[in-house]
Amino acid sequence: MTGNTEWWRTAVIYQIYPRSFADANGDGMGDLAGITSRLPALEQLGIDAIWLSPFYTSPQRDAGYDVADYCDIDPLFGTLADFDVMLTQAHDLGIRVIVDLVPNHTSSEHPWFQAALAAGPGSEERGRYMFREGKGDNGELPPNNWESVFGGGAWTRVTEADGTPGQWYLHLFDTTQPDLDWDNPWVREQFRDILSFWLDRGVDGFRVDVAHGMIKAAGLPDYFPPVEGGSMGGGSATLEPAISTEPPAPAPYWAQDGVHDIYRDWRELLNTYPGDRILAAEAWVDPLSQVAKWVRPDEMHQAFNFAYLETPWNAAALHSVIDASLEAFGAVGAPSTWVLSNHDVVRHASRLALTAENLQGHGIGPKTPGLPDPVVGLRRARAATSLMLALPGSSYLYQGEELGLPEVIDLPDDARQDPTWFRTNHERYGRDGCRVPIPWEANSPSYGFGPSEQSWLPQPTEWADLARDVQIGDPNSTLELYTLALKLRREHNLALGAVEWLDGYGADVAAFRNGDVIVIANTGTEPVDLPGGDILLSSEPLDGRVLPGDTTVWLAA
């Protein structure tokens, strides 16, 4: 280890969902030139790095997580030259750039898969994917009982070149996302080249998609009890504390030991490059001590803390997940990460006020039970973020949360695009509600998302009031709260600090000292008297030295 000074140990990393961030050419789809144009706004916000969800060549059946060419840009988003401009300008502003790597599966339109279909059973080309013979007298049944994360079965049968029903291929996600066979050295070799391609271009790292899924148990055994299908291994997104101490029996396609060899190999490759380039794991595994395996010193640098994301707004639950996180990641010398929202979950300005269980990935819509009160949701979100940004380690933000955006619940059915919506016959709404293009200017077409009225998902009219230009300079706005929190976080060096819990505020309060800052979060409804010390930040305006419910303050210690 080189000490604790690497940038990623303390970084605030802002997730850009390119489709929905900024649209330069007015086609209703965000693009790289749009991102470049808005980088100064991110510098002003005070983040350290951006992570971009996929912009690669793709038929967009899963919003770009179905990649048809890992080394090119989809024309929807621009060109490699646009990428280079964006990267240079980000670096000039002191912002690092992490790209998304999708190694578990390709698009079914990837030339490798097309070649596999054409080459037929037993070929080298089929050996790059998970093709198997079906069960039953005529191979008419899938090879095992696995279910897709998006709903439905995880196997699709192909028609062979001679027109007869043939082998089946595995897809843990949509039919258009065939899983690669990571036991095949050829696949490993291709990905080393893909990593090098982007490292040579100057990226600062990779967020690795489905980093817990790439190796499947030998023999592809049935999984009992059958997988619910909707969760990526995580649990309830609302009511119950998310940390468990016992590892649940792993599904035969998640968290297999063999994945770690892949990351050791990649780490060696990254180590040959100058600068601190990083790997960040999207690994939905339980408990946190298991997640920490992904960030052992010779593997990845960071892993998303989904246990934290799934923790309800409850002081005791927050206390224990924070302790468990610091302990698990600390035990392997990695920083803890923290995250409350991303492009796969209900935005936390809505999620934290849901009153019925809502499984990760299922999403919410008009018919969902227990829909949130938006005022309560935003208030809790502001308090929850104020708590998160005071924690030591690295935090992830998802575009639009700095504006207090809620989940869009009432998207018209015919606007929805998430494969989950289609694969479950509209039973699960899926993730479109957190992916709506974000508002920049109240009085511009598409609220400044782009130069035209177009927007690939419709924006709610209320979003005019949440536009960036309305919030900037308003001390009570969510944008100014985030900006202040990020500034104070830097000034007080909170990311390199430690959590020292403080008692005496009652069961609904989580309170701790981090260096010279005292953080008090009231997750209940009863007001709590505040101790002395200058108020550095408050998630709601205060009336005297009393902390109302659903509010977090930072005090000078």
Q: Which residue lies nearest ligand GLC, judged by its C-beta? A: 65
- Confirm if 31 and 82 have CB atoms less than 8 A apart: yes
Cα separation, 73 vs 479, in Å, equals 31
**Min CB(339)–ligand GLC separation in Å:** 12
CB closer to ligand GLC, 208 vs 353 = 208
Q: Name every residue whose Cβ is closer than 8 Å to that of residue 510 and which is 6 or more positions away in sequence.
A: 315, 318, 319, 322, 387, 520, 521, 523
Q: Name every residue whose Cβ is closer than 8 Å to that of residue 189 and which is 6 or more positions away in sequence.
A: none
Closest CA to 68 of 98, 125, 108, 24: 108
Per the annotation, the verdict on 282 as an active-site residue is: yes
Residues 321-350 that bind ligand GLC (CB under 6 A): 343-344
CB closer to ligand GLC, 279 vs 485 = 279
CB closer to ligand GLC, 62 vs 432 = 62
Check 23, 174, 282, 299 and give the catalytic one: 282
Query: Does 23 engage in binding with ligand GLC (CB under 6 A)?
Result: no
Q: Name every residue whose Cβ is closer than 8 Å to that of residue 360 and which is 6 or more positions away in sequence.
A: 230, 231, 232, 234, 235, 237, 284, 310, 344, 345
CB closer to ligand GLC, 282 vs 540 = 282
Query: Does 102 engage in binding with ligand GLC (CB under 6 A)?
Result: yes
**Min CB(124)–ligand GLC separation in Å:** 25
Cα separation, 195 vs 216, in Å, equals 22
CB closer to ligand GLC, 223 vs 306 = 306
φ/ψ (deg, to 5) at 519: -115, 130
| Interface residue with ligand GLC, options 65, 266, 440, 482 (CB under 6 A) | 65
Cα separation, 190 vs 70, in Å, equals 10
Per the annotation, the verdict on 109 as an active-site residue is: no
Cα separation, 405 vs 464, in Å, equals 11
**Min CB(213)–ligand GLC separation in Å:** 9
| Interface residue with ligand GLC, options 82, 209, 402, 540 (CB under 6 A) | 209
Tokens of 549: 């419910």
Cα separation, 539 vs 547, in Å, equals 10
**Min CB(418)–ligand GLC separation in Å:** 8
Q: What is the DSSP letter of 553?
A: E
CB closer to ligand GLC, 210 vs 509 = 210
Site string for ligand GLC, 259-298 (x = CB under 6 A): -----------------------x----------------
Check 209, 299, 407, 540 and give the catalytic one: 209
CB closer to ligand GLC, 102 vs 349 = 102
Query: Does 210 engage in binding with ligand GLC (CB under 6 A)?
Result: yes
Cα separation, 81 vs 173, in Å, equals 31
CB closer to ligand GLC, 49 vs 102 = 102
**Min CB(474)–ligand GLC separation in Å:** 33
Cα separation, 429 vs 418, in Å, equals 8
CB atoms within 10 A of CB 38: 20
**Min CB(179)–ligand GLC separation in Å:** 10
**Min CB(529)–ligand GLC separation in Å:** 43
Could you give the 3-state DSSP secondary structure of residue 442?
coil
Query: Does 62 engage in binding with ligand GLC (CB under 6 A)?
Result: yes
**Min CB(149)–ligand GLC separation in Å:** 7
Number of residues located near ligand GLC, criterion CB under 6 A: 10
Site string for ligand GLC, 77-96 (x = CB under 6 A): --------------------
CB closer to ligand GLC, 380 vs 435 = 435
Question: 375: part of which helix (H) or strand (E)?
Answer: helix 374-388
**Min CB(207)–ligand GLC separation in Å:** 9
Helix (H), strand (E), coil (C) string for 211-245: CCCCCCCCCCCCCCCCCCCCCCCCCECCCCCCCCC
Cα separation, 378 vs 370, in Å, equals 16
Residues 470-499 that bind ligand GLC (CB under 6 A): none
- Confirm if 534 and 469 have CB atoms less than 8 A apart: no
Rg (CA), the chain: 23
Cα separation, 108 vs 14, in Å, equals 30
Query: Does 16 engage in binding with ligand GLC (CB under 6 A)?
Result: no
Binding footprint of ligand GLC on the chain (CB under 6 A): 62, 65, 102, 173, 209-210, 232, 282, 343-344
Catalytic residue numbers? 209, 282
